[in-house]
């Protein structure tokens, strides 16, 4: 495989759990710099994934970093799991459970109806544990210091909200949505629609625009590609 990282490449990765999106960018930038033997190369991602999420992460290199906004604007698809009957400050497993709720009243029909209620154009309040900037600082900086801040609701589109499995207290789902949608906030809203609490247990981005998770590679696979390419170059020179 021949890469032209400076002219521009679109690289699709399956982000590992526990890594931030910037961790992936920094690692790939380091690998490319080492491969090319240069000090600088532009690398950016088109759509943040939370550290506890996995799945499709689009990276652009070189001149293709100008296309990042184009990719960010595309609709996304996710699969994941909600846990019913409890909430956390971050709306996911990053923080500890702060409240518990009864779920004995919840039926399959109520779960399906809650998903219908949250399908379409909705207003969503982002999580306080998010990278949104408030007065020059990230919202999560305030949250980690237990400071109260107000985030304004934003309009997002939930194009599809499919319940793929129910095994209480867990509910499995697939969501297709517009840019800017927080699935963690959708978990909170889903719990409220059921008159209980809910938080996000797992999340995987499976699509972004025309790109799918089946097209992704791991960081280790990319590193091996670079090593193989370099070995081929060296053999060509020796011949």
pLDDT (tens digit per residue) in 154-174? 999 999 999 999 999 999 999
In a domain, 2, yes or no: no
- What's the pLDDT band for 152 if we cut at 50, 70, 90? confident
Task: Say whether both 27 and 119 belong to one domain.
Answer: no
In a domain, 4, yes or no: no
pLDDT at 55 over 70: yes
pLDDT, position 218: 98
Nearest to 219 by CA among 12, 48, 35: 12
pLDDT, position 145: 66
Task: Say whether both 166 and 97 belong to one domain.
Answer: yes
pLDDT at 30 over 80: yes
- What's the pLDDT band for 235 if we cut at 50, 70, 90? very low
Task: Say whether both 179 and 93 belong to one domain.
Answer: yes
Task: Say whether both 156 and 85 belong to one domain.
Answer: yes
- What's the pLDDT band for 139 if we cut at 50, 70, 90? low
Task: Say whether both 25 and 129 belong to one domain.
Answer: no
Containing domain of residue 57, as a range? 10-72+211-238
pLDDT, position 169: 98
Mean pLDDT calculated for residue range 37-58: 95
Out of 50, 98, 141, 233, pick the active-site residue.
50
pLDDT, position 153: 87
Q: Is 50 a catalytic residue?
A: yes
For residue 144, report the phi and psi dihedrals to the nearest 5 degrees.
Answer: -70, -15
pLDDT, position 108: 98
Task: Say whether both 100 and 200 belong to one domain.
Answer: yes
Mean pLDDT calculated for residue range 218-235: 83
Rounded mean pLDDT of the chain? 91
pLDDT at 175 over 50: yes
Alpha helix (H) residue ranges in 47-205: 68-72, 108-117, 139-144, 183-193
Task: Say whether both 54 and 123 belong to one domain.
Answer: no
Domain count, the chain: 2
Nearest to 187 by CA among 109, 105, 124: 124
In a domain, 41, yes or no: yes
pLDDT digits (tens, 9 = 90+) for 77-134: 999 999 999 999 999 999 999 999 999 999 999 999 999 999 999 999 888 776 677 6
In a domain, 54, yes or no: yes
Q: Which pTM was predicted?
A: 0.90
Spatial separation of the C-alpha atoms in residues 229 and 205, rounded to whole Å: 29
Mean pLDDT calculated for residue range 22-48: 96
Task: Say whether both 54 and 142 belong to one domain.
Answer: no
Task: Say whether both 107 and 24 belong to one domain.
Answer: no
pLDDT, position 195: 98
pLDDT, position 125: 86
| Residues 171 and 186: beta-carbon distance below 8 Å | no
CATH number of the domain at 16, please.
3.30.70
CATH number of the domain at 111, please.
3.30.2350.10
Task: Say whether both 46 and 126 belong to one domain.
Answer: no
- Consecutive H or E run containing 236: helix 219-238
Task: Say whether both 231 and 139 belong to one domain.
Answer: no
Task: Say whether both 81 and 194 belong to one domain.
Answer: yes
């Amino acid at each position: 495989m021949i890469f032209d990282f400076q002219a521009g490449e679109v690289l699709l990765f399956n982000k590992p759990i526990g890594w931030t999106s910037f961790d992936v960018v920094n690692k790939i930038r380091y690998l490319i710099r080492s491969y090319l033997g240069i000090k600088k190369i532009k690398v950016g991602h088109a759509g943040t994934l939370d550290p506890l999420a996995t799945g499709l992460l689009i990276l652009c290199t070189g001149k293709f970093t100008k296309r990042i906004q184009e990719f960010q604007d595309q609709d996304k698809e996710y699969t994941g799991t909600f846990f019913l009957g409890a909430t956390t400050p971050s709306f996911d497993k990053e923080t500890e459970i702060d409240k518990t709720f009864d779920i004995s009243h919840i039926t399959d029909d109520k779960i399906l109806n809650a998903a219908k209620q949250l399908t379409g154009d909705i207003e969503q309040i982002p999580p306080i544990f998010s990278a949104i900037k408030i007065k020059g600082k990230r919202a999560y900086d305030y949250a980690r210091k237990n400071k109260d801040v107000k985030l304004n609701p934003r309009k997002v589109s939930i194009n599809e909200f499919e319940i793929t499995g129910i095994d209480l207290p867990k509910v499995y789902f697939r969501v297709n949505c517009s840019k800017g949608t927080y699935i963690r906030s959708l978990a909170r809203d889903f719990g409220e629609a059921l008159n209980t609490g809910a938080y996000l247990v797992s999340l995987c981005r499976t699509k972004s625009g025309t790109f799918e998770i089946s097209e992704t590679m791991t960081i280790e696979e990319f590193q091996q590609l670079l090593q193989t390419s370099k070995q081929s170059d060296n053999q060509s020179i020796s011949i």
